[in-house]
Amino acid sequence: MAPRVCILCCQAVKWAPVVFISAIVGWSYYAYVVQMAILTADTLVEKVIFLVLYHPILFLFVWSYYQTIFAKCRTPPKEFFLSQNEWQHLEAETNENNQKDQLNNFARKLPIQNRTIAGFPRYCEKCKCVKPDRCHHCSVCSVCVLKMDHHCPWYVVNNCVGFHNYKFFVLFLGYALLYCIYVALSSLKYFINFWSGGGATGVGRFHILFLFFVAVMFGISLISLFGYHIFLTVHNRSTLESFRAPIFQTGADKDGFSLGSRANFVEVFGDQKSHWFLPVFTSQGDGVSYASRLQPTITYNTMGTTPRPEPNLGDGVTYPTRTVDLDSDGLLGQRQRWMEEGDNESTYDNKGIESA
């Protein structure tokens, strides 16, 4: 009985941020629509304009938030999973070269370009699978997630952000920011009036005062986060890849999957312009295989020799190929590794396999 109670308590804690934000949005609706637009606005024209502009923004904000929370994580297809005999034989092997040969033999027909720093195909000891490119293991969800960006407990999503919902997440940030800006600007007049001691008295004025403060506070926090994810989108990087560059046969390269700003944007938002700003799934590809600068055409035989351009490990600065693990700087380790136990590429057990 006790373990079940603990599980229920943990689930409740996970959903607490979602409940909190939902309550904030519900209260803001009452404060804006009832207290400000209906009871406080000076003229009928003002009331109509406020309500007509407010509801579409709120609808898109809530819709994208819902999609971000409830989109189901996409995991590697069955072709990437080892059979019981295969993974038992692999993990019982003590010779690193034999392990590498076994993994290479299993992965030779899989569309993968990324490797561990030791040159292995990336293997998850928890899921018993070879990880597709850009896929990482999430210790919170206990699965390998395609094109995992991060697990988001703090920004009230309670879900992994990855191939399945990254477009929804970016739209959620954008519409949340637009919502805060609109509410703050449209309530500014009444905020100044009430703050200076004029206008109506009573509880309604406090709703409007707090509405303005909350909109500004959340808006400021959203500006940098939304801008950062727009930057990642146009550079075709995930949050994890921005901290730790993916490793190709030529070495680590942060811009390895970048195909140009427009192509990168289209990969996430799709090629139908009418759907770009709607929280419906239009991302290109299957989440498993990706074109890259090294291999612009995706095939199912990516284990051979690839060209060796100089990788770009920074933003606009070209460096020679590095042979040290970029995760050794500890930056990602302190902030994100607890959410991605299965992808500690800087830690290897005594068998040479990537620790899950």
Residues identified as active-site = 152
User: Residue 69 in contact with residue 17, Cβ under 8 Å?
Assistant: no
Rounded CA separation 92/114 (Å): 24
Contacts by 228-232 with C-beta closer than 8 Å and gap 24+?
A: 229/169, 229/170, 229/173, 230/170, 232/149
Phi, psi of 130 (to 5 degrees): -80, 130
Contacts by 108-111 with C-beta closer than 8 Å and gap 24+?
A: 108/301, 108/303, 109/300, 109/301, 110/79, 110/80, 110/300, 110/302, 111/288, 111/289, 111/298, 111/299, 111/300, 111/302
Q: What is the CA radius of gyration of the chain?
A: 24
Partner residues linked to 129 by β-bridges: 81, 124
Rounded CA separation 317/9 (Å): 48
Rounded CA separation 236/264 (Å): 5
**Cβ contacts of residue 288 below 8 Å, gap of 6+?**
76, 77, 80, 111, 132, 133, 135, 146
Crossing angle for the helix pair 44-70 and 2-29, nearest 10 degrees? 160
Crossing angle for the helix pair 44-70 and 166-195, nearest 10 degrees? 150
Q: What is the DSSP letter of 232?
A: H
Q: Is the dihedral of CA 161, 163, 165, 170 positive or negative?
A: positive
Encode burial over 32-70: b for 16+ CB neighbours within 10 A, e otherwise.
bbebbbeebbeeeeebeebeeebeebbebbbbbbebbbe
H helices of 235-324, where? 239-243, 261-269
